Structure 1
Amino acid sequence: MALRTEISERQRRFGVELRRLREEAGFTVKDAGALIDMGAPQLSHIEASRTGLDPARLSNLLTRYGCTDETYMAELGDLGASDGKGWWSTFKDQVTPRALDLAETEARAASLDNYETFYIPGYLQLPEYTEAMFEDAYPERRQATDAAVRFRIERQRILTDERQRQFRFVIHEAALLMHFPGKAVMRAQLKHLLAISELPNITVQVLPFTVPKKPPRANSFLICAPSSAPLSTVILDGPTRAEYLVDQASIASYRDRFEQLSQIALPAITADRSMQDDSRDSWGLIQHLLYLLQE
């Protein structure tokens, strides 16, 4: 079988997990390969994500490594067996590979935690807001901007699909004060935040400038957690590339940061909030910002 020349994040994660399991079990590449009648070079290629591993050999190898977590084993098997196709496949020639990797990663998640500093989370953006986001990225390529907007709209379908994933958002107040899309768009965007926060699987909190406690050091990040927690992924989105953190120490660190941010942020928006409730919460702050945008 020919070795891969392009490796997706899903394929990369499969190889990383196999190497981690082998090392934790105390096997060399040569000894582990011998367990499934495979040479060391071929197993090295598998761990480097250059090629795959058939389900029967995978099951045998996991058993020899001492794996007993059935949920983990099943999800790892899915990573290895998947052909990587989904709704995002229709955008293959229209958006970047990193966008395709993101869509595939979040599609496997059962829950997602997202912290944003300067922008509204992509899952919650109106098309007009997204368009303003990408205008500078593709100033002379209208088709690229349109494709990016359509791709983001498709990504947002996971908010309300049949899987009912749990979403938690902590948004810094700075993101709510940005006027680059124009005041009319920002008014509509803030109203959209209030409306979508009423969905039972979505929690939105605002981290205000006036927070009395020191926030943990953190730029924007996303935690995608499938049913098997060890297969969670932390995604750091940079200007030119996205960084995928998959080691357990990093995952635990960012989980802790998100919990700290959630604890010091304003209380979440709730569907049953009374209009007369004057307590300081995320709903109240957004309403205040809406009032300022009317001036």
Structure 2
Amino acid sequence: MAGRSAPTVRRTRVATELRKLREQAGVTATEAARTLGTSQGQLSNVESARFGVSGARVRAMASAYGCSDTAFIAALVNMAEGRTRGWWEQYRDILPAALLDLAEVEHYATSLRTAITVHIPGLLQTVDHARELFRQVVPEFSPPEVEHRVSFRIKRQDVLFRDSPTPYLAIIHEAALRMQFGGAAVAKGQLGHLLEMSERDHVTLKVIPFAAGSFPGSGQSLFYSTGQVPRLDTVHLDQSHGPAFLDAEAQLEMYRVLLGKLEALALGPVKSRDLIHNLVHDL
């Protein structure tokens, strides 16, 4: 299989951070190229993610730009050198590249948080629930595409089942729990799966009840992936055309605050499970 023509999301992030470091240091591309002993064209290719970059080169660039944050530099080096092809690459010619990027971000995250209003988070969906969602997409997916999307979504859930599972916080509004996608039987199976997952040590499930009233960020689905250092965190917003990734420091801080507000509104894990048990009983 040929390599991806487009850079991976991690390579793009390394390139973006290196460019930010140079600009924050007030160093022009011409000056940086001269200091690093390279051409301006090669530097441009690195900063635009057309070329990958070695860990040694990352350290040299950080030094040239006066960056003394050793933890941040080490995290960038790790991102630059971690070029192992992930399982998601088998879907490269089948699904949009943004979905592959989402799986890659989740795979390398040190923790994951999500807040969602009308859907069950993808990492907690059952096969039947996911299949029903993809059948309702407009324009309509073909049956094979539905199955590709379902299998991809289920494989993403490996981050919660591998030997060192990723800590995961899911904040779900009660509205999402009451939506009966696929009918009562599918809904009951989905709620039962949520209860099972909520008992895992690394999974925290919290419900925002209708009684909480209005709350910030109610019109969007928010996913937050924690990097090795806070500067390398990533926000991904679920949109109709696919995930959009945000990584500017001001954006990251805004969404950290938003997630904190939503978590404060939500019921605790025990009361959240009690609410779900009551919903299952009513089906």
TM-score by length of 2: 0.92
Distance in 2 of aligned mates of 1:193 and 1:5:
38
* TM alignment of 1:102-121, pairs within 5 A: 102-121=102-121
Counterpart check, 1:287 vs 2:277: yes
Q: What is aligned with 2:157?
A: 156
**How far apart are the structure 1 equivalents of 2:59 and 2:22?**
13
SS in 2 for 1:186: helix
Report the alpha carbon displacement of residue 147 of structure 1 after superposing the two structures with TM: 1.3
Q: 1:192 to 1:216 in 2, by over 3 A?
A: same
- Secondary structure in structure 2 of the residue aligned to 1:170: strand
Further displaced range: 239-248 or 136-145: 136-145
Q: Structure 1: any 5+ residue segments left out of the alignment?
A: 270-280
2-structure distance, mates of 1:190, 1:91: 29
In the alignment, the residues of structure 2 paired with residue 225 and residue 56 of structure 1 have an alpha-carbon distance, to the nearest angstrom, of: 24
Q: Across the two proteins, how many residue pairs are aligned to each other?
A: 278
- TM-score normalised according to structure 1 size: 0.89
AA aligned opposite 1:204: L
8 Å CA contact 1:5, 1:50 repeated in 2: no
- Once residues 241 and 199 of structure 1 are traced to their aligned partners in structure 2, the CA distance between those partners, rounded to angstroms, is 29
Q: Between the two proteins, what is the percent identity of the paired residues?
A: 34
Q: 1:8 matched to which residue of 2?
A: 8
Match of 1:233 in 2: 234
1:76 partnered with 2:66: no
Give the CA deviation at 1:251. 0.6
1:92-171 matched pairs, under 5 angstroms: 92-137=92-137, 139=140, 141-171=142-172
| 1:272 alignment partner in structure 2 | none
More helix by share: 2
Q: Deviations over 1:205-259 (max 9, x none)?
A: 01111105x4223511111112212100000110013211011110111011001
Aligned to 2:253: 252
CA contact 2:99–2:243 (8 Å) conserved in 1: no
State the Cα distance separating 1:64 from its structure 2 match: 2.1
Alpha-carbon distance in structure 1 between the residues aligned to 2:247 and 2:216: 20
Q: Quote the residue 2:225 is aligned against.
A: 224
State how far apart, in whole Å, the 2-side matches of 1:90 and 1:291 are: 41
| Secondary structure of the structure 1 residue equivalent to 2:269 | coil
Letter in 1 for 2:117: T
How far has the Cα of 1:187 moved from its partner? 0.6
Secondary structure, aligned partner of 2:23: helix
Amino acid at match of 2:177: L
Residue type of the alignment partner of 1:18? L
Amino acid at match of 1:37: G
